[in-house]
Structure 1
Amino acid sequence: MNFKSDNEAPAHPAMIEAITQANEGYAAAYSEDSWSRDLDGRFSELFETDCRVLPIATGTAVNSIAIAELSPPWGAVMCHQLAHIHTSENGAPEFYSGGAKLVPLPGENGLLEADRLARAIDAAGRHGVHNVKPSVVSITQATECGTVYSPAAISAIAAITHERGLHLHMDGARFANAVTSLGCTPAEITWKAGVDVLSFGLTKSGALGAEAIVVFNHPEWIEGMERRRKRGGHLLSKMRYVSTQLLAMLDADLWLELGRQANARAAELARGIENSSNVSMAIYFDPFVANNFDPGAGD
């Protein structure tokens, strides 16, 4: 068993099959292929609203390009102190935005707290041009601690964010795990709860380097994101090999099936730890996952 990283796991066979099928013949380059052009429609069906989708190969690029479009160089990005954008992306959001500052905030079990967020935003802009200006709130779903935000918690954060003129970004590197553990629809924890932009992650679910920026209700942001994707070296000439994986993951809800399997194995491990006298849980384990654990899932 390997607990080091889901990035060390092999790609799901369906991804290899999708790439092989897309490898037949010629196709337009630079996201003009039929697979890439199908993304807006397929994701709009999934999220029950009009979406604009940009396929990108890495999670760091997805997060950074999305945040850079939402924040000016003098902006502040409010995030949890354990957020991947803060701890594990080597300044990429700051680099892509031309200097926006990440402002890390504490919160139990990896979760931002609405009241604390409101106080931090209000305090950050007290000195006018002498301070960075809060522009974006970024939350991770599921969090770096494996916890999840409920739809109500996201709505509370979104209300604080939008009331103050900021935008809400969600890092969904493990979005499938959150959706399946909460038993909700993708829409209920994104745009219906007030999320403006989602980093839709699939590599950790079994894709071979396939992520996407999903924009809700703000088509005017797309051109800037497209230009940042190109300028930052992430507009692949053969983007069809990324886009075909995104589509294959949506087929028959494969991404959700894999999320359920991962949650089931995590619940099994957590129960083993809870029953052990030698080790203990360092972080609160979501009882929803445990209570909905099916021992046969993923066999």
Structure 2
Amino acid sequence: MNFASDNTSPVPPQVLDALREANHGYAMPYGNDAIAAEVRDQIRTLFEAPEAEVFLVATGSAANALALACICPPWATVFCHRNAHIEEDECGAPEFYTGGAKMTLVEGPDVKMTPGNLDAEIAFAARGGVHNVQRGAVSITNVTEGGTVYSVDEVRALCAVARAYDLPVHMDGARFSNALVTTGATPADMTWRAGVDVLSFGGTKNGLMGVEAVVLFNPEKAWEFQLRRKRGGHLFSKHRYLSAQMQAYLTDDLWMKLATRANASAARLSAGLLRVEGAELIYPTDANMVFAKWPRAKHRAAMDGGAAYYMWPMDQSLDGPAEELISARLVCSWSTTDEDVDQFLALLGVDP
């Protein structure tokens, strides 16, 4: 009953098998291994983007920060939602890797920017010429930090605003696979066809041991990305172990199968929580994360029964009135089972 994060899940056996296979013999380092070339071809085919450049890094923060550094200069700003991952959860990594670019925070319901709010923030920026930070880039998180999902039309509308100001667009796709399962969109339709220039294509939150792909739909930035990756300490010497994970992830649609399981578990969990007296959802359950509130007494019962999840916000206490509604975030992974969900709901007094 671990709903703390999809980062807590084990690694699928297909990935471990691929690592064992890659461990035989010798391979060239620094991304020059044969598997890396195959991964590039897999991703180019998957995204219907034969000219795209693909680079692997070990963490989502590195993927986001290095990607943004290639499209936003230090004297500019990145426009993102107030609760975007790059704003809330990366300890200033984008600011660090860009050399000082700031974040301009855009409001919007359900943790999603609206085109109108984005347009207003971009229009207001750089109004003082040389005295202000300049307009730099737009970053869209899909799946959002609230577990909601931008549709292709919503992504296209935000990209249209960015294009009106000649700004590049980054997508933080740490849970990109979960967004595709929800929308039924193709990878191409959700990204470059909608106007996205660079994607952080997540793997770790969907079962991998530790690898993310940066997909540059504008190949002109490829050399700069390579230099930034090396200078930033994110070019792996024994790169084949990154490549092998991503290759297994993409083979036989494993990445989509894993995300489908996680989303289905979250839907089951969300529906069950709504059967708890007084419970309510904070955001729609679009993908594999559930944000909800229910009585404090039942949180105590769940925690005492061995359930792991985070209060949201985290500073809420289990001490206080038993019937007061307090909120939490629960995340399902590829390895979450129906039994996990039903056991958790049973602790809250919900029959399967």
User: TM-score normalized by structure 2?
Assistant: 0.80
User: Could you say which structure has the larger radius of gyration?
Assistant: 2
Q: Give the match for residue 13 of structure 1.
A: 13
2: CA distance, partners of 1:63 / 1:35: 23
Any idea what the Cα deviations from partners look like across 1:225-265, whole Å, max 9, x if unmatched?
A: 11110001100000110111111111000000001000000
CA-atom RMSD, angstroms? Answer: 1.7
Helix, strand or coil at the partner of 1:283: coil
Any idea what the Cα deviations from partners look like across 1:97-132, whole Å, max 9, x if unmatched?
A: 100001112111110100110010010121111111
Instruction: Kindly report which structure 2 residues correspond to 1:153-164, keeping only aligned pairs within 5 A, or say none.
Output: 153-164=154-165
Q: In structure 1, what residue type is equivalent to 2:96?
A: F
Any idea what the Cα deviations from partners look like across 1:2-54, whole Å, max 9, x if unmatched?
A: 11111111111111111110000000000000011222211111011222100
Q: Give the match for residue 210 of structure 1.
A: 211
Deviation at 1:94, TM superposition (A): 0.6
Q: Give the match for residue 266 of structure 2.
A: 266
Q: In structure 1, what residue type is equivalent to 2:61?
A: T
Unaligned runs of at least 5 residues, structure 2? 290-335, 339-352
Instruction: Kindly report which structure 2 residues correspond to 1:128-207, keeping only aligned pairs within 5 A, or say none.
Output: 128-207=129-208
Helix, strand or coil at the partner of 2:193: helix
Instruction: Kindly report which structure 2 residues correspond to 1:75-90, keeping only aligned pairs within 5 A, or say none.
Output: 75-90=76-91
Deviation at 1:298, TM superposition (A): 7.0
2: CA distance, partners of 1:36 / 1:64: 22
Instruction: Give structure 1 regions of 4+ aligned residues with deviation exceeding 4 angstroms.
Output: none
Are 1:248 and 2:239 an aligned pair?
no
2: CA distance, partners of 1:73 / 1:184: 34
Q: In structure 2, what residue type is equivalent to 1:9?
A: S
Q: Give the match for residue 292 of structure 1.
A: none
Query: Is the contact made by 2:75 and 2:100 (CA closer than 8 Å) also made in structure 1?
Result: yes
2: CA distance, partners of 1:58 / 1:269: 28
Q: In structure 2, what residue type is equivalent to 1:259?
A: A
Query: Is the contact made by 1:142 and 1:175 (CA closer than 8 Å) also made in structure 2?
Result: yes
2: CA distance, partners of 1:154 / 1:235: 31
Query: Is the contact made by 2:201 and 2:215 (CA closer than 8 Å) also made in structure 1?
Result: yes
The answer to which structure has the higher helix fraction is: 1
Q: In structure 1, what residue type is equivalent to 2:280?
A: S
Instruction: Kindly report which structure 2 residues correspond to 1:87-98, keeping only aligned pairs within 5 A, or say none.
Output: 87-98=88-99
Q: In structure 1, what residue type is equivalent to 2:262?
A: A
Deviation at 1:281, TM superposition (A): 1.0
Query: Is the contact made by 1:142 and 1:174 (CA closer than 8 Å) also made in structure 2?
Result: yes
Helix, strand or coil at the partner of 2:104: strand
Q: Give the match for residue 117 of structure 1.
A: 118
Deviation at 1:220, TM superposition (A): 0.9
Q: In structure 2, what residue type is equivalent to 1:78?
A: F
1: CA distance, partners of 2:96 / 2:34: 32
Q: In structure 1, what residue type is equivalent to 2:250?
A: L
Instruction: Kindly report which structure 2 residues correspond to 1:227-246, keeping only aligned pairs within 5 A, or say none.
Output: 227-246=227-246
2: CA distance, partners of 1:298 / 1:279: 22
Deviation at 1:275, TM superposition (A): 2.1
Query: Is the contact made by 1:76 and 1:132 (CA closer than 8 Å) also made in structure 2?
Result: yes
Q: Give the match for residue 308 of structure 2.
A: none
1: CA distance, partners of 2:12 / 2:165: 42
